[in-house]
Amino acid sequence: MKIHGRHYRSIWWDAEVKGARLINQLALPFAFETLLIRSPADAAQAIRSMAVRGAPLISMAAAYGLALGLAQDASDPALEQTAAMLLATRPTAVNLRHVMETALHHLRPLTPAQRPAAALALAGELADDDVALCRAIGEHGLPLIEAAWAAKGQQGPVQILTHCNAGWLATVDWGTALAPIYAAHDRGIPVHVWVDETRPRNQGALLTALELGWHGVPHTVVADNAGGHLMQRGQVDLCLVGADRVTRRGDTANKIGTYLKALAAFDNGIGFHVALPTPTLDLRIDDGVRDIPIEERSGDELLWVTGQDAAQRSHTVRIVAPGSAAANPAFDVTPARLIRSYITEHGIVDAAQLAQLPRRGLV
C-alpha cells in the first residue's frame, strides 16, 4: 500500500543493517515511525507491546526474529528455545504457531551453518506468500460487494461495517477484511465503511480509519455499540471482519466485540463474512468457545487512554473511576452458525469446506 505516495509493506528486510523493519503501530496515527528488529528479543518485544499486531503480521515478525537469532547461535538448543520464546508471545492467533512449526520443520534437518541463511530465506518467502494470499482474498471478496451494489440498483454506496483492524497494517500488505474493500474502491464501486472504534485498543479508530483515509475510501468511525443500531435502520449492507483463529468447523476468534456484531447481523438478516488466509485455520480443534485460548490483557488498557490535545501534544489520562478493577479479554469467539461465508485465497467457502482447503507453504 502507499503512504504519501510511497509504497510500503508493514514489515521488510533491511539488508544494509541486517535487520527487519516494521511500521510502529503504537505511534500511529499521530506519527509515522519504523522499528528495527535486530534480535529475537526485539521481535518478542514488538509483538508483546503491540507495536506489531494482526495475526499474519505477528507471525512474520516472529519469522524474522527467529532468523536473526540463528545468525547469532544456530545450535539445536538455540533453535528450539528461540522458537518457543517467540511462540509464547501471543496465545490466541494461530498463524504464529503455524509459522514456527513450519520453520522448525525446515530448519531442524539442516546443519547449524546452513540454518541462518535458510531461516532468512524462509521468512522472505512466507512474507511474499502473505502478500499473495491477501491480494487473492481481495479479488475473491470483491463479488460480495459487487452483489450488494447490484442489489441496491447500483445506487451506492455499499455500506460495510468492520471491526478492529484487518487491513494491510495487520498483514504484510493488502490486508484481509479490508482487501475486498480496497479492490471495490479501486474498481470504481462506491463504498462507505462504518469503522468500529474497537475498544480498548481502538484499532479501528486509530488504524483502520487511517488506512482507509490513506487509500481515499469514505468512512465513518462509530462507537462499538452503534453497530446494531445501524443494522436495524438498514444502514449496513454487509459485515466484513478478519480473524485470529478459525476452527475446522468455522468457529472464529477475533477481536473482542466481534461476536456481538455477528449476533446483530444475524438478527437483521445481514451477511456476516470472515476474511482469512488459510494460515489462520486451526484444523486441530472444532469447538472454538471451548478450545481457543483467549488472551487476557492488562486492565490498564481499559483504565487509561492516550491521545492528542488541540496543540498536538500527547497525554495519557485515566477514564475509569478510581478504585475500580478492569477485566480485559482481548478476543471472543463467533460460532460458525452466525457466519454466512469465509473469504479465503481459494475463494468464498462455507464452514463445511474449510477443512478441505489446500494450505500452501505450511506444515
Query: Helices in the chain by DSSP H: which ranges?
Result: 40-48, 55-72, 76-87, 95-107, 115-151, 178-186, 203, 209-215, 227-232, 258-267, 288-291, 300-303
Burial class (CB in 10 A: 0-12, 13-18, 19+), 152: middle
User: How far lies 229's CA from each of 161, 223, 255, 263, 336, in Å?
Assistant: 12, 11, 20, 12, 23
User: How far lies 74's CA from each of 14, 26, 112, 362, in Å?
Assistant: 21, 32, 5, 22
Total residues found in the chain within this entry = 363
Q: Which residue has the cell 487511517?
A: 210
Q: Which three cell numbers stand for residue 130?
A: 502473505
Q: What is the DSSP letter of 267?
A: H
Cβ neighbours for 145, distance < 8 A, ≥ 6 positions apart: 158, 160, 180, 181, 183, 184, 189, 191, 238
Catalytically annotated residues: 244
Q: Is the dihedral of CA 335, 167, 270, 193 positive or negative?
A: positive
